[in-house]
Structure 1
Amino acid sequence: MNLYMIKKILILFVGFNSIPVFSNDLLGNQLFSPISESRRALQNNNREIEQLSDKGQTERLIKNKEEKKLIAENILPDSSMCLEISNVFLQGITLLDNDDLDRITALPTQCITTKDLNTLARELTQIYINKGYITSRIEFIQSNDQGELGVQVIEGFIEGIKGSDHKVNPYFIFPGFVNKPLRLQDLDQGLDQANRLQSNQVTLDILPGKYKGGSIIILNNKYSSPWSAIASIDNYGQENTGKWLSRATFSVDSPLGISDFISLNASTTLEPYSNKYSRAYNLFYSLPYGDFTFSSFYSYSEYLIKQPLQNTIITLSGETQQYGIKSDYLYYRDQNDLLTISGQLANKQVKNFLLDSLLFVSSPELTVLELSLNHSHIFSTSVLSSNLSIERGLSIFGFDDKRNIIDNEFSKLKLSFNYSYSFSVFDSIYQSNNQLFAQYSPNVLPGIEWLSLTDRSAVRGFSNTSISGDNGWYLRNTLSHYYFINSAVIQPRLGIDVGQVYPHGESQGNSTVIGMSTGISLNYKKIMFDMDISHGKVVSGLVSKNEPITALFNVTYKI
């Protein structure tokens, strides 16, 4: 290959990787975008991290909500006979404030009856129950010299925790709970931390302790094998690196005996490696500690492609690494709500090569700090989850800024809503899911931080066109219905999506796309099959290429 041809190719790829909205078709071939491949690898890994971090906490909250609500009962037999008392005095209250006590119905100034005392005790007990202190109770004690009846509050506390095993470590899921007030929300959080491990089915019993107000927590665990493995085959890959992929996931529950979790995921294309391939590896580890969950992660991906041009073939290759730490803190929970605050620090390293020469424009190295707030609310027939996060690119650890053509000190705001609800039509239950995601940055972002509008997780129906930008949003809507046939669960679905991207400082580059899809999933014991047929269309923007109908398949087997 002569020097002139090499210069043309380099100019082509530098320009190509600088365009925020583009089509992958050029000169009759599918032109490969290194920065898009790197962004795709990082976003796939981030989805893995989010799924492993959540591990069904909202679903467990729904299950807990279905349990019977506790109601305070009368202590004394109701009577309208006046008692020989002038008033009452309260003692033993440390967990309530004045606002709580102001909600109690005032006693009559004349003729206090047992009915009035029952109302007082019932309302006071219910306030404790509503706050989660379900073992607190009321006792009436002897009147004082002023003729005031004593109301003694015995605030329940945890006297001890029993029933732990190798996979349920109370020092990590119930840290510092002994001799502290027994609060239902704290017990629920501990159960969530234990049951986030797929091999656990932990329940608890509350038994009376030796001391007044004390309770013994008995943990019961119907556990299964601590390890699990999943293998799958799908055609979610890219044409340039190989459509068909094989994936494998291996995870172990509580490997260190501290209710921790570790997972290893690997994927590779099924094409012959001599011409093209794409491989990815992800390692995830998490450790609970009461309301906190600490996690760390590492991912590595690589690709090789031999790109045909008019008169020659060029070789492109690249690798992407990401490692980081994350902390999730459960700030608030009750019967209907979960509020979590999260912080994450991640380092992202991208290297793309053309003819063994590093492409600086598509090889950034970034350190990103992300702070996020996640809230889930359970309605009677629906669930609303929302997430607000702020990301900040940092220049720390002495990384070489010369590799970054675009400033790595940026700010990015992300907002997402997910609303799922059920409704009935002719005695059949349907499920609707609506997901809105938006991203905004006042800065020009590195390419790996763009929003990929035509990614499979965003607007469905695109396989040949890649549209992305600094700012944008998309809305995914899916309607599904469940059929239960013996041991099989069949779920057909319909979907329609829409989205837009706004490249920074380029209003003429705005693009709008829509996508429609239909699919079906089948779950039978350990086997899951999923098929999705979709079609996308670019409504407006720089790209007007027609997309073919896309058919995606996935077969998964859980060992």
Structure 2
Amino acid sequence: MIFKINVRGRDKIGDFWWGILCLLYLQIMIGMLPFKVFAEMALPEMDLLEMDIAEPQIPNSIIPPLSHAQLASEPVLPENLYNDEVQCVAINNVELINLDAFPNAAHLKEKAEEAHGRCLGEQGLSVLVANLQQQLVVDGYITSRVVFVGDSERDGTLMLKLMPGKIEDIRHHQDSVGNAHLSALFPGKRGDLVNLRHLEQGLENLQRLTSVNATLDVELNREDLSSQIIVNRQQSRLWRINAYLDDAGHDAVGRYRTGLILSFDNPLSRYNPLSLSDLLYFSVNRDLDSQPDKGHNSYGVHYSVPYGNWLFSMTGNQGERYQSFSFAGKRLAGKKFGYRSHWSVLDTQIQHLLTRGVNYKTVGYAGVLIRQSASFWTHREIDIQRFNTTDWQLGIEHLHYMPWATFRGGVRYQQGASWFGAQPIPGKMSTAPARLVDITSSLDIPFKIGTQSFQYRPAFSQQHTYSDISSLDKFTIGGRSSVRGFNENNALTGSRGWSLKNDISWISPIPGQTFVGQQFYIGMDYGEVSEQGQPFLLGERLAGAVVGTRGNYHAFGYDFNVGVPITKPAEFDADPLVFGFTLTWQY
């Protein structure tokens, strides 16, 4: 006899014990509030390397959306669960046959021990088996079974047999488009236990590309509990184009920016009949100010490929920024002097799934970050602004769906190294490797007032270090990526700092499919920074507010906003109103 278990990705998540994550989030937030901060004055005209030429978000998130299969609900058990029954058998021990074949043996053993010392009748024995079966399902072993064996009770010992449900084959449905390399994408293989967590991970690997949609069926043979995993994969196209235009640049090198990203989903499928679910993209970015004496441009390439519970990624970028200066005086009147900076970055990372459950996922990663930069004044290199650094990184990311919110958080540790020709940073007082820790967390909380839908999103970020770090790693506040209400021309930077962004969005109730996901939002941000020794003090904190609208119109995305400063240092130059926009297009 064969029956099907349908497993589909991107469904909603069930209930979770939300209190622990809420307390963790509040502990992080409250623990940072007494942080005494001051600021180092930023020098944007010369420290051009600090100006981040940001690119639009690529559809290759660090933690892809969790796939979720609807599990059986926990059985409703009677209150007299293990109360002694009139006709019963005294149970001193429960022996589980084949227990060693299950990775969740500790959970099963704990459930079995609940019956020790009880006198169980027909109802109690049924409840015990139901509890063990439910534990198998909760831990992901959806096709394994718990059964009684002949002559189950001997001298107070109850013997139950765990019947493992194993994978017989993982194959494509006849209607699948393209042959994905299923053995590489799914953690499980033939002969392994059927584990729903492994199926979710494989489905997630298939759907990490936005052009791919996939479902799978588990066909179970009741006679031997073997399963056929049948995947139906559909891919709409092999390439995509994304473009953007915004005004988030620095006036010194071009306020208006544009970029184009060409992405290839499964780029090797032309030469290999088995797709790897890999992603390759190329990016080009530049300013639109069209002035010969200032500007910036950059180029990038990215490649990433999953393998079971692993994900390998590599991203490289290089570019330049340039501007001209003129000076007063008879000898220098009418002359312009050029300042130019070249930079390159190579970021490699290996990510591994640490744990995942019905509604959560945790990954760890390790990586190497290589950065180089050289600056020139009228074609002569400025030695003190030469950078050639290598850092290794370790981090952990967590995603958790709760009934009332979605939590995302992460911790990253970074330390300098002398690998790949790295050189000491000129001007540093210490030769010890620079060390820093970054903490990020956010909540997405939907709520309703009457019939209107809203969303509240707090996002927290902190950097902590006691090292003498370079300007490349300074924490910056001021601008749309940190504390809004200020433009990118002026910012406060420091070795340590934290910021909190708060958004409340109203989801527009306008019906129709012309404007999709239209929102009107207000936000209020706050941030602080500090520096050892407090050199070049300009201030210690910034606060700002913003109001705007965002959404999509067919293939176009938009975000229009206006911000105002609320709190700033007395000598900090800030516009009374800051207008901003971002336009995106995808094909």
TM bucket, shorter chain: 0.7 to 0.9
1:460 is matched with 484
2:110 is matched with 102
TM-superposition CA deviations, 1:268-327 (whole Å, max 9, x none): 112325222211222111010111101011001212212233344221111110013101
CA RMSD of aligned residues (A): 2.9
Residues 89 and 22 from structure 1, CA distance in 2 versus in 1: closer, same or farther, beyond 3 angstroms? closer
Retained in 2: the 8 A contact 1:227–1:250? yes
| Equivalent residue pairs, number | 518
| Correspondence for 2:552 among 513, 523, 537 | 523
| Correspondence for 2:279 among 253, 258, 261 | 261
Retained in 2: the 8 A contact 1:365–1:403? no
2:512 is matched with 486
Structure 2 Cα separation of the partners of residues 399 and 508 of structure 1: 28
Retained in 1: the 8 A contact 2:188–2:194? no
1:329 is matched with 352
| Correspondence for 1:499 among 519, 527, 546 | 527
SS state at 1:293 partner: strand
Quick one: which amino acid aligns to residue 503 of structure 2?
Answer: T
Structure 2 Cα separation of the partners of residues 338 and 172 of structure 1: 20
Structure 2 Cα separation of the partners of residues 309 and 69 of structure 1: 75
Retained in 1: the 8 A contact 2:41–2:536? no
Retained in 2: the 8 A contact 1:140–1:151? yes
Higher RCO, 1 or 2 (CA under 8 Å, sep at least 6)?
2
Quick one: which amino acid aligns to residue 358 of structure 2?
Answer: Q
Structure 2 Cα separation of the partners of residues 427 and 142 of structure 1: 59
Retained in 2: the 8 A contact 1:304–1:316? yes
Residues 185 and 518 from structure 1, CA distance in 2 versus in 1: closer, same or farther, beyond 3 angstroms? same
| Correspondence for 1:319 among 332, 335, 342 | 342
| Correspondence for 2:292 among 274, 295, 318 | 274
Does residue 546 (structure 1) correspond to residue 574 (structure 2)? The answer is: yes
User: In terms of mean alpha carbon deviation, does 506-515 or 467-476 score higher?
Assistant: 506-515
Structure 2 Cα separation of the partners of residues 518 and 86 of structure 1: 67
Does residue 162 (structure 1) correspond to residue 171 (structure 2)? The answer is: yes
1:22 is matched with 41
2:564 is matched with 535
TM-score by length of structure 1 reads 0.85
Quick one: which amino acid aligns to residue 544 of structure 1?
Answer: F
* Residue 478 of structure 1, CA deviation: 0.8
1:180 is matched with 192
TM-superposition CA deviations, 1:416-438 (whole Å, max 9, x none): 11122112212222101111111
2:385 is matched with 362
Retained in 2: the 8 A contact 1:374–1:385? yes
Retained in 2: the 8 A contact 1:143–1:149? no
Quick one: which amino acid aligns to residue 238 of structure 1?
Answer: H
* Residue 223 of structure 1, CA deviation: 2.0
Retained in 2: the 8 A contact 1:267–1:281? yes
Does residue 445 (structure 1) correspond to residue 473 (structure 2)? The answer is: no
Q: Give unpaired runs (5+ residues) of structure 2.
A: 1-37, 78-84, 269-274
Residues 85 and 558 from structure 1, CA distance in 2 versus in 1: closer, same or farther, beyond 3 angstroms? same
SS state at 1:41 partner: coil
Quick one: which amino acid aligns to residue 277 of structure 1?
Answer: G
SS state at 2:252 partner: coil
User: In terms of mean alpha carbon deviation, does 112-121 or 315-324 score higher?
Assistant: 112-121
Retained in 2: the 8 A contact 1:142–1:149? no
Structure 2 Cα separation of the partners of residues 301 and 122 of structure 1: 62
Retained in 2: the 8 A contact 1:195–1:201? yes
| Correspondence for 1:469 among 489, 494, 498 | 494
Structure 1 Cα separation of the partners of residues 42 and 469 of structure 2: 20
SS state at 1:458 partner: coil
Structure 2 Cα separation of the partners of residues 156 and 461 of structure 1: 58
Structure 2 Cα separation of the partners of residues 475 and 145 of structure 1: 61
Retained in 2: the 8 A contact 1:280–1:300? yes
Identity over aligned pairs, percent: 21
Structure 2 Cα separation of the partners of residues 98 and 513 of structure 1: 51
* Residue 21 of structure 1, CA deviation: 3.2
1:233 is matched with 245
SS state at 1:54 partner: coil
Residues 109 and 452 from structure 1, CA distance in 2 versus in 1: closer, same or farther, beyond 3 angstroms? closer
* Residue 165 of structure 1, CA deviation: 5.9
Does residue 421 (structure 1) correspond to residue 445 (structure 2)? The answer is: yes
Structure that is richer in helix per residue: 1
* Residue 209 of structure 1, CA deviation: 4.4
Quick one: which amino acid aligns to residue 305 of structure 2?
Answer: L
Where has structure 1 moved over 4 Å in runs of 4 or more?
Answer: 70-74, 80-89, 107-110, 144-150, 402-408
Structure 2 Cα separation of the partners of residues 144 and 485 of structure 1: 63
* Residue 38 of structure 1, CA deviation: 1.4
SS state at 1:177 partner: coil
SS state at 2:51 partner: helix
Retained in 2: the 8 A contact 1:492–1:520? yes
User: In terms of mean alpha carbon deviation, does 157-166 or 410-419 score higher?
Assistant: 157-166
SS state at 1:120 partner: helix
Quick one: which amino acid aligns to residue 497 of structure 2?
Answer: G
Structure 1 Cα separation of the partners of residues 472 and 95 of structure 2: 66
Superposition pairs for residues 8-87 of structure 1, below 5 Å? 21-22=40-41, 32-35=44-47, 37-41=48-52, 44=54, 52-54=60-62, 57=64, 59-60=65-66, 64=68, 67=70, 69-71=72-74, 82=87
Structure 1 Cα separation of the partners of residues 294 and 228 of structure 2: 61
